[in-house]
Amino acid sequence: MSSILRIALQKSGRLSEDSYQLFKECGIRFDYGTGKLKSVSSNFPAEFLFLRDDDIPGYVEDGVADLGIVGENVAVESTHRIETVHRLGFSKCRLSLAIPRATEWHGIQDLAGKSIATSYPRILGNYLHEQNVSAEIHEISGSVEIAPGIGLAEAICDIVSSGSTLLSNGLKEVEVIFRSEAILIARPTLEDEKQNLLEKLLFRIKAVQAAKN
């Protein structure tokens, strides 16, 4: 039986376009953007699955996908057993603390006893612990930037890329706690045939990256 690599990509979001572009530059063709959640490549033994980025580490651990492209932020926050195979260098962003624009900021101690809304409770929790700050972490899965405006939290900790989401919600970035880029993840042990395919894929990815530097 000939094997095929199943690769999970973000369906729509910050990583999507760059992820598709990477495979295109690797000469691996497949359809996307048609609303289909799955697509088989016409010229490489790979099948692509289009999923929510936050779900990708779990699918990779469970073996539903062999590989995935996610932001490091998602991989580090996740408790799933996955391995970083390669850093991809695109979709760079930062995980930052932000507060309402009019609020004064003197430093991280300002957050003591306050509540912070985030989708990254683990990364934030570790950071606060390191900084010796005790604050309440309020976990929400999306639209975190709205939290201060509706009285749900006094600060937020979320992904910042261009900064436009913060700006349009009246928030200012006060502390960067983690810097992230897209990474290729895999199950810790792949079957031999899949491992061979992964090496072929990596060879192409590295060639594409080398051509850019």
Which residues of this chain interact with ligand PRP, rule CB under 6 A?
13-14, 53-54, 142, 158-165
Q: How many residues touch Zn ion (CB under 5 A)? A: 2
Residue 79 has, within 13 A of its CA and on its CB side, a CA count of 2
**Shortest distance, CB of residue 5 to ligand PRP, whole angstroms?**
24
Among all chains, which residue has been given the structure tokens 């405006």? Answer: 149
C-beta atoms surrounding 98 within 10 Å: 25
CA gap 163, 158 in Å, rounded: 11
Residue facing Zn ion at closest CB distance: 53
CA–CA separation, 70 and 185 (whole Å): 7
Amino acid letter for position 23: F
- State which of positions 174-213 bind Zn ion (CB under 5 A): none
Nearer of residues 79 and 162 to ligand PRP, judged by Cβ: 162
Identify what 61 binds: ligand PRP, Zn ion, none; CB under 5 to 8 Å per kind. none
Each residue 54-83 as x (binds Zn ion by CB under 5 A) or -, in order, gives x-----------------------------
Taking CB under 5 A as the criterion, which residues in 81-140 touch Zn ion? none
Closest to ligand PRP by CB, 54 vs 154, is 54
CB contact at 8 A, 83 and 186: yes
The token duo for 194 is: 């899949």
Q: CB of 15: closest distance to ligand PRP in angstroms?
A: 7
**Contact partner at residue 142 from Zn ion, ligand PRP, none, CB < 5 to 8 Å by partner kind:** ligand PRP
Distance from C-alpha of 116 to C-alpha of 134, rounded to nearest angstrom: 11
| Tokens at 169, concatenated | 């919600």
CB 71 within 8 Å of CB 179 = no
Q: Does 53 bind Zn ion (CB under 5 A)?
A: yes
Q: Which residues bind Zn ion (CB under 5 A)?
A: 53-54
